[in-house]
Amino acid sequence: MTKTYPNDIQNVDLVVLGAGPAGVAAANVASQEGADVVIIDENSSAGGQIYRAPPNEFKPHDSFKSDEYQEGEKQRKILKNSNVKALFKHRVWSISSDLVVSIVGPNGLSSCHTRSLIIANGALERIIPFPGWTTPGVIGLAASTILLKSQFVLPGQSTVVAGCGPLLIAVANGIIKSGGKVSAIIDLNSKSDWIKASPRLLSRPDQLFKGMSWFANIMKAGIKIYGGHAVTNTKQVDNVLKISIAPINSAGSIILDSKYKKVVEGDCLAIGHGLFPSTEITRLLKAKHIYDPHKGGWVPLIDDDFRSSIPGVYIAGDATGISGAFSAVQKGRIAGMTAVRDLNLMSSKKYKVKIKSERTTLKKNENFGKAAVILMKFRSELIQTITSETIVCRCEDVYRSEIDEAIESGARDMNQLKAWTRCGMGPCQGRTCSEAIEAILASKVGSRELAGQWTGRTPFRPIPIDQIIGEYSYDDIPIPKAAPL
């Protein structure tokens, strides 16, 4: 049914979606085994979020060339020297069940017919709303890392870094290293939460050491850390953000009593409440999903070899569950080898041997990653900060009170809630608000499983209409036969 476009790519063995660590590893290993591989990414080069490259025009000063930058350069070089066909600045906007990948790029529409598909589209940042979260100057932790790593821009003159997990330390350290000022760190986790997570961190002593050195930088800079605290409100007063914070008690409740409230200030609030796997593509394909808080949230169901519930479709990296960049490499390699094995491009004997060593490394790296997941897990107490007057869906300006009213009048699943309130209908297609809205609904209907997920829809990102239509005349339009009169 699908017509071919002029720049169609036919008969590819494997298409890899996403050129982060998992996607690059998958593409490389499959290509080394002789598979004909295409990797597609909307960015201008490989690296994903973690090893995101500066724009090609940028010539970074040596002091900006962090370990991550070096690792990214290494991966970009390996990919460049491989036989993998890389389509950067290209966006996938639809995938059919017979694995025709629809692409939009600088030259308009194209498509790629493939025998197998690896989805390595990573993770999204969870930001649970609070009054003032849409104020200018409030940005995500992940967005801050992009500014620091790729644009060499400080998020603010004086930044309050808040939320949870390793990104908190990474962003604070990144700001200090770039010569900026961190005015405070607000950590949802208490000291004891970090201590509880630390045994797993020992599985990668090199990384633990790196984290400790970042932490030492933060201590040296004399930055006040509020452990076991949540941001409850942000107000802008003359270019200054007045950020209210409150302690979290041992039972996991935010103590909203004004007696315990503190106010910190800055011109920027960088905040993130953890990462969750990106499921836009697997939902569109109607793959089976399960909700697993230990993996960061909803994940596509996969077998031990990273096969999804759909034949020919594999998942790799954080999209299978948050576990970080190191384990993403093994996940990518295993998925890549499984795909070529299933295409009979690799002997079963060779596959078994190779997979075994990957699994050992994966286990070690995953253990390290799990510590991060524990620190970034969804905390239901954050729903307390979403007051009735807080906007939850910022694309469509849907307030918490409207969500509550809809649930009150009988909305029982995510799609119904969307239809009744327009939440999740805007340009971001629910990437920003799904976690908060699912959590609110789940708290009323009993579980995330009962609340369900929004149906996946094409295109995954808004696509400019002029790119879709291209040059054409009225006669070119294949108008179907007239409707009955």
Partner 1 sequence: MENYDVAVVGGGVMGCSTALYLSRNQMRTIIIDSGALCSEASGTNAGTLTLNMTRAALIPYAIKGWELWNSTEKWLHSSIGTRKVNGLSLAFTEEEEELLYDRVQARQAMGAPIKLISGKKAQRLEPGLNNSVRSAAWCAKDGFTSAYLTGHAFKRALTQENSAVMEYSKVKGIENDKNNFKIYLENNEHLIAKRIVLAGGVWLEDMLNWLNVKIPIKCLINQLIITERMPQVMKTVLSIANGLLSLKQFDNGTVMIGGGWQGLGDKERGGVEAIPENLKGNIRLACHVIPELCYGRMVRVWLGLEAETADALPVIGNVPGISNAYVIGSVHSGYTSGPYMGWLLSQFIMGQETEMPLFDPSRLIN
Q: Which stretch in 247-255, 256-264, 272-280, 459-467 sits in contact with partner 1 by CB under 8 A?
A: 459-467
- Number of Cβ within a 10 Å radius of residue 58: 12
Kind and range of the H or E run holding 77: helix 67-80
Residue 243 CB contacts under 8 Å (≥ 6 apart), including other chains: 160, 162, 186, 231, 233, 234, 263, 264, 265, 266, 269
| 479 lies in the site for partner 1, by CB under 8 A | yes
State in angstroms the smallest separation of the CB of 305 from partner 1.
26
Distance CA 319, CA 317 (A): 5
Cis amide prior to 459 (ω within 30 degrees):
yes
- H-assigned helices in 275-429: 280-284, 324-342, 348-376, 400-408, 414-421
When asked if residue 434 is in the footprint of partner 1 (CB under 8 A), the reply is no
Our finding on whether 2 is near partner 1 (CB under 8 A) is yes
Q: Would you say the C-alpha torsion 422, 425, 430, 433 has a positive or negative sign?
A: negative
Minimum Å distance from CB 9 to partner 1? 15
Options 419, 431, 444, 445; binder of partner 1; rule CB under 8 A: 419
287 scored as a contact of partner 1 (CB under 8 A): no
Cα angle 223-229-234, degrees, rounded to a multiple of 5: 85
Q: Which is nearer to partner 1, 234 or 432 (CB)?
A: 432
Cβ-based neighbours of 193, under 8 Å, separated by 6 or more: 228, 374, 375
Per CB under 8 A, 447 contacts partner 1: no
Q: Report CA-CA distances (Å) from 415 to 93, 259, 288, 408, 419.
A: 21, 40, 17, 15, 6
How far CA 442 is from CA of 271, 354, 411, in Å, comes to 23, 42, 12
**Is residue 478 involved in binding partner 1 (CB under 8 A)?**
yes
Query: CB neighbours (10 Å) of residue 116?
Result: 25
Q: Which of 10, 344, 348, 409 binds partner 1 (CB under 8 A)?
A: 409
Residues from 84 through 113 that contact partner 1 (CB under 8 A): 93-94, 96-97, 102, 109, 111
408 touching partner 1, by CB under 8 A: no
Binds partner 1 (CB under 8 A): choice among 61, 222, 348, 482: 482
To partner 1, the closest distance from the beta carbon of 445 in angstroms equals 11
List the interface residues with partner 1, window 149-208 (CB under 8 A).
Answer: none
The answer to whether 146 touches 272, Cβ cutoff 8 Å, is no
The residue within the footprint of partner 1, chosen from 203, 309, 416, 443 (CB under 8 A), is: 416
Nearer to partner 1, 177 or 461 (CB): 461
CB of 132 to partner 1, least distance (A): 24
Q: How far is the CB of 87 from partner 1 (least distance, A)?
A: 17
Per CB under 8 A, does 57 bind partner 1?
Answer: no
Assess contact for 151 and 127: CB atoms under 8 A. no
Going 245 to 247 to 248 to 251, the CA torsion angle's sign is negative
- Pick one of 427, 446, 447, 449: the residue that binds partner 1 (CB under 8 A): 427
Query: Is 412 an interacting residue with respect to partner 1 (CB under 8 A)?
Result: yes
Among 179, 222, 252, 464, binds partner 1 (CB under 8 A): 464
Minimum CB distance to partner 1 smaller for 88 or for 420: 420
Task: Give the nearer residue to partner 1 in terms of CB position, either 109 or 231.
Answer: 109
- Residue 80, classed as helix, strand or coil, is helix
Interface residues toward partner 1, by CB under 8 A: 1-3, 93-94, 96-97, 102, 109, 111, 406, 409-413, 415-416, 418-420, 425-427, 429, 455, 457-459, 462-466, 468-469, 472, 474, 476-485
